[in-house]
Chains A and B, each alone.
Chain A
């Protein structure tokens, strides 16, 4: 047993003095502790940052195609569902009697391209939002309990912006025709429908995969003639035809603002350019001003305009209007191509100006440009994802409308609107005129001679309709118009009628 003895306060002080005598050094321990406090702050910052990262950032960070860890997550998470805006399921996972996870697509072919599929390399929304679907926001204790019971956690649900009714309607409407349709809200960039044909049934993707990826093509245009897996709405590169006159018109207006009002052209229906000719679709338009030339889609007038354009300026304007750029849409897309150089012949230049040159555009691109005009010049980011919901149905992440860029000034947008309106009121798109909405748009027919597939005639319509409450932008392309009367304008009219009610 140790004997106890008290040291008086006084002695304690003396001991301290001895200590300080021994410790004659200049280092003061308080300063050491200050430095420690500094490191404590740094390390705390690390911990706080890590917590912040794990709570708020990791969800969007890991949702990246370069992350090769989806197999890791698949072990513990039952892939979440994808639902339409109204909540109807577009894709969900369930377990078969052997406990294997199977993916079900209740609408079959209707959403094939846009929703995509989960196996065979993944596509569409399934690919883009893979990690959200493989992340579970179940409660902590539920997760731990599931882990011990060896039950997979239910993954989060992706709510898309798609309108199941509209998509289904368009899908049926398009019938057996090849082509693509995009419907979006110009003010928010929300995509309501995206149909691409030919299509496939994602429920059977594993069985039909080998057939689909087989090389059916002997020619370079196989790209657009058959490939079923291609989402034509975002990845199909089409000759824009007369819809491109919108770009020609815009550049002409920028280059020669004073000539626009004085413009006058006498259309004879055909015009010689060197050895070749440019002709108008439906005969001579006679005397017309710029608005009429646009409304009539007069090739002769726009060919002439094209030959007056400064090619460098034309190119830079088109680049500003998203040619050659990757589109910000949240599923894979292709960049449109604008090719024109000073070496090109006059005919090439004129053909390009009326959309028949080597220019190629995706329907998505055209829809974005027209939506920007409808939205007073501001282009919104087109998106298919609305929100991520946890298994209890609460929103864990919302994808809000985002401004992509301003493509046109407000005055420019107003001007282009009036031209697009004249197409509907007096021009080639009068079919869409009647209805309880106000429509704007531009038609187009892409003609191309093709030695392999024969001549083709793709029918375009791009535009939008609005009433007091809603706006709907539409971009339609129908390849070859196999069914008589199945033109872009006709389809758009049907879509507007369906959407705005008869």
Chain B
């Protein structure tokens, strides 16, 4: 009987999660926020359902006597987590106009983290929850105050120096664990500054390119970036070094729109990779463990082999919670959490997980698209790239798609610094969304107030002779165009006759905004 409950719960979790992911993608359509509220309610229900079902299974497992967790602690912990999720998705948005889509996906990741971490180790999950609470406070502070702290934009070099300083500290003071210098011991806490350096680095590059993208500036920032990356290589943290490198390259491309930089960067990377392979023994070990983990299965290939056993044995549908053996994978709660997820919740669940990460990246990029100012745009963009690369490295590494680099899966993996940094990152993204909202509102207010466009300062500059007609190739017009593209993709299969004229739809929420703002 109990086995049937386990089985049903497994498929239930998978179906709910799949629906959640599909809805998350659909929510990306450009319809007014008000119309999305219903969707968010569905998302929230699915999330709560997954959480409840999973904890029901954990509780059954505890009641069966297969675990030494106290059932009352477990119930209390469940209620605390549930309360957290409800506060985050229902209460907080009443005070801050967060992007609800991003917020829900973030909470979904946290939920998956709650489930898998509690399954792996109750105590560890409890600690993790405390860190999430602390991180959430930071998250909210950033959301509330970022808009007012305009001076933060001009601290470009402070970020750079802070970042490098932290890295130097790590290089000098850190303890070596798993062949890499990662953590600083501060009292009873172990702290991994590299997670925060990523954010500082994005702030620095965004600030620098906001000022100028002249060749001189590109060179200066490239040197600073190279120092960052270089110190990380010395720390043996190649995963983080690679993340910083990609962030810099992508931001450089976005700021200058020159493809040549990417080409140069890729060539430099290839050269550096070859050099690193010949210079550093641990790089060779990683690569050989990636190419053939089976020949030294008890040594360097152990972790990746165990990860593949987990994913392969779990198969498409997974073994079900507590039915697998994920604890045989070293570092399963951190770098290898996706293997545990694939083993127990199923390969299909893991695929949905990858899709949800992709959706999350898209959501962050869309904040970057919405916000006006270059600094903010680059900031959101850089954070999005940082997220996406990290996800790719950790999931790809666990599946033997690329060599293992030892980075965590944001919001899901356990680890204090990683979780705090992820929540801070999302705090910044949400703050940028709030700023973008006011940008859009200001623009609409202006139009609605009937400001004559010709009176608008600078309008004449834009009005070039012969440019009266709408020029499709005009690069500067494409923000609007992009939005339209989204419409078209989403509505293409619908009956065209039912479509509202574009103008009406645009105006529809313009008017709403005006009403709100005139109140």
Residues of A7-36 whose CB lies within 8 A of B: 7-9, 12-23, 25-33, 35-36
Contacting pair B381 A27 (CB below 8 A)? yes
Contact between chains at A53 and B372 (CB < 8 Å): no
In the complex formed, the residue of B with least CB distance to A2 is B511
The B206-259 residues at the A interface (CB cut-off 8 A) are 213, 250, 253-257
Given contacts A5-B507, A57-B312, A69-B313, contact A32 B254 (CB under 8 A): yes
In angstroms, Cα B323 to Cα A7, docked, is 61
Give B506's nearest chain A residue, CB to CB. A7
Contact among B309, B312, B365 for A54, CB-based, below 8 A: B312
In the assembled complex, A173 has its CB within 8 A of some CB on chain B? no
Contact of B504 with A6 in the complex, beta carbons under 8 Å: yes
User: What are 13 inter-chain pairs, A to B, with CB distance below 8 A?
Assistant: A9-B503, A13-B470, A17-B459, A18-B446, A18-B447, A28-B257, A30-B475, A31-B254, A45-B401, A46-B396, A49-B399, A50-B399, A148-B7
Do residues A2 and B365 form an inter-chain contact, with CB atoms below 8 A?
A: no
What is the minimal beta-carbon distance from A1 to any residue of chain B, in angstroms? Answer: 11
Considering the complex, give the chain A residue whose CB is closest to the CB of B312.
A58
Task: Give the docked Cα–Cα distance between A46 and B503 (Å).
Answer: 40
Q: Is A340 an interface residue (CB 8 A)?
A: no
Nearest 3 A-B pairs (CB), nearest first? Answer: A58-B312, A25-B374, A20-B476
Taking the complex as formed, is A262 at the interface, i.e. its CB lies under 8 A from any CB of chain B?
no
Least distance between A7 CB and chain B CB atoms (Å): 5
B487 at interface (Cβ–Cβ under 8 A)? no
Give complex CA distance A3, B507 in Å.
10
Nearest Cβ in chain B — how far from A35, in angstroms? 6
Asked whether A66 is an interface residue with its Cβ less than 8 Å from the other chain, the reply is yes
- Indicate whether A42 reaches chain B with its CB closer than 8 angstroms: yes
Q: Is B412 an interface residue (CB 8 A)?
A: no
Query: Which chain B residues lie closer than 8 Å to A16 at the CB level?
Result: 470, 477, 480
Binary contact readout B348-373 vs A (1 if CB under 8 angstroms, 0 otherwise): 00110011011001100100110011
Beyond known contacts A4-B507, A42-B392: 12 more, CB 8 A cutoff: A7-B507, A16-B470, A18-B456, A25-B372, A27-B254, A33-B369, A54-B316, A58-B313, A59-B312, A75-B323, A144-B11, A148-B4
Is there an interface contact between B381 and A35, defined as CB atoms closer than 8 Å? yes
A33–B365 touching, CB < 8 Å: yes
Tell me if A329 is interfacial: C-beta within 8 Å of chain B. no
Complex Cα distance, B503 from A16, in Å, reads: 13
Among the listed A6, A19, A53, A144, which residue makes an inter-chain contact with B503, where contact means beta carbons less than 8 Å apart? A6
A64-B315 in contact given A5-B507, A27-B377, A29-B478 (Cβ < 8 Å): no
Cβ–Cβ < 8 Å partners of A42 in chain B: 388, 392
A69 to B507, CA, bound (A): 60
> Contacts A25-B372, A27-B254; is A33 near B315 (CB within 8 Å)?
no
A68 touching B506 by the CB < 8 A rule? no
Contact of B351 among A9, A28, A35, A47 (CB under 8 A): A47
B312 and A61 form a contact (CB under 8 A): yes
B280 contacts the other chain (CB 8 A): no
Contacting residues, chain A, for B269 (C-beta < 8 A): none
A73 within 8 A of B: yes
Report if A213 contacts B (CB, 8 A).
Answer: no
B512 touches A2 (CB 8 A): yes
Q: What is the bound-complex CA distance between A364 and B151, given in angstroms?
A: 79
Residues of A within 8 A of B (CB): 2-9, 12-23, 25-33, 35-36, 39-40, 42-43, 45-47, 49-51, 53-54, 57-59, 61-62, 64, 66-69, 71-73, 75-76, 143-144, 147-148, 150
Min CB–CB distance A282 → chain B (angstroms) = 49
Enumerate chain B residues within 8 angstroms of A20, measured Cβ to Cβ.
Answer: 462, 476-477, 479
Whether, in the assembled complex, B439 has its beta carbon less than 8 Å from a beta carbon of chain A, the answer is yes
Residues from chain B with a CB closer than 8 A to the CB of A47 are 351, 354-355
Contacts of B372 in A (CB 8 A): 22-23, 25
Q: In the complex, which of the residues A35, A61, A147 contacts B309, with contact meaning CB atoms closer than 8 Å? A: A61
Cβ–Cβ contact A53 & B439, under 8 A: no
| B interface residues, Cβ below 8 angstroms from A | 3-4, 7-8, 11, 213, 250, 253-257, 294, 297-298, 305-306, 308-313, 315-317, 319, 323-325, 328, 342, 347, 350-351, 354-355, 357-358, 361-362, 365, 368-369, 372-374, 377-378, 381, 385, 388, 391-392, 395-396, 399-401, 439, 443, 446-447, 453, 456, 458-459, 462-463, 470, 475-480, 482, 501-504, 506-508, 511-512, 515
Query: Which chain A residues border B396 with CB–CB below 8 Å?
Result: 46
| CB neighbours of A143 from chain B (8 A) | 317
- Given A43-B392, A64-B294, also A35-B253 (CB < 8 A): yes
Whole-angstrom distance between the Cβ of A62 and the nearest chain B Cβ: 4
Q: Shortest Cβ distance from A13 into chain B, in angstroms?
A: 5
Q: Which of A4, A6, A23, A71 has the most CB of B within 10 A?
A: A23
Contacts of B361 in A (CB 8 A): 36, 39
- B253:A46 contact, CB within 8 angstroms: no
Chain A residues whose CB sits within 8 angstroms of the CB of B378 once the complex forms: 27
Find the A residue at minimum CB distance from B388.
A39
Minimum CB–CB distance for B367 against chain A, Å: 10
Least Cβ distance of B413 to chain A in Å?
17
Least distance between B506 CB and chain A CB atoms (Å): 7
Chain A residues whose CB sits within 8 angstroms of the CB of B456 once the complex forms: 18, 21
| A8 to B503 Cα, complex, angstroms | 8
User: Chain A residues with Cβ under 8 A from B257's Cβ?
Assistant: 26, 28, 31
Contacts known (A4-B504, A17-B459, A72-B325); A22 close to B478, Cβ less than 8 A: no
Known contacts being A6-B503, A35-B253, is A22 close to B309, with CB within 8 Å? Answer: no
Structural contact, B311 and A18, CB atoms closer than 8 A: no
Contact of A64 among B305, B317, B328, B385 (CB under 8 A): B305
Cα of A247 to Cα of B456 in the assembled complex, Å:
98
Known interface pairs A4-B504, A51-B351; A64-B309 also in contact (CB < 8 Å): yes
Cα A59 to Cα B311 with chains together (Å): 11
Q: Which residues of chain A are near B316, meaning CB under 8 Å?
A: 54
Q: What are the residues of chain B within 8 A of A58 when measuring CB–CB?
A: 308, 311-313, 315
Chain A residues with CB below 8 A from B501, complex form:
6
Of chain A, the residue at the smallest CB distance from B370 is A29
Complex formed: what's the CA distance from A430 to B388 in Å? 75
Tell me the complex Cα distance, A67–B316, Å: 18
Please name all residues of chain B whose beta carbon is closer than 8 Å to the beta carbon of A45 when the two chains form the complex.
Answer: 401
Nearest chain A CB to B61's CB is how many angstroms away?
Answer: 14
CB neighbours (8 Å) of B395 from chain A are 46
Say yes or no: A61 contacts B477, CB within 8 Å: no
Residue of A nearest to B310 (CB): A69
Q: For residue A13, which residues in chain B have a CB less than 8 angstroms away from its CB?
A: 470
Q: Which residues of A contact B439 (CB under 8 A)?
A: 22
A82 to chain B minimum Cβ distance, whole angstroms, is 21
Q: Which residue from chain A places its CB closest to the CB of B448 in the assembled complex? A: A5
Kindly state the separation between the CA atoms of A7 and B316 in the bound complex, as whole angstroms.
Answer: 52
Please state if B347 and A21 are interface contacts (CB–CB under 8 Å).
Answer: no
Complex interface: chain B residues within 8 A of A64 (CB)? 294, 297, 305, 309
Chain B residues with Cβ below 8 Å from A7 are 503, 506-507
Closest-by-CB residue of B relative to A4 is B504
A69 to B310, CA, bound (A): 8
Q: Check A30/B478 contact, CB under 8 A, given A2-B511, A13-B470, A21-B459.
A: yes
Chain A residue at minimum C-beta to C-beta distance from B212: A26
Q: Which residue of A lies closest to B444 (CB)?
A: A15
Report Cα–Cα, A391/B476, bound state, in Å.
63
Closest to B387 in A: A39
B351 touching A27, Cβ below 8 Å: no
Across the interface, do B7 and A32 meet the contact criterion of CB distance under 8 Å? no
Q: A28 is contacted by which of B11, B354, B470, B478 (Cβ under 8 Å)?
A: B478
Cβ–Cβ contact A72 & B357, under 8 A: no
Which residues of chain B are within 8 angstroms of A148 by Cβ–Cβ distance? 4, 7-8
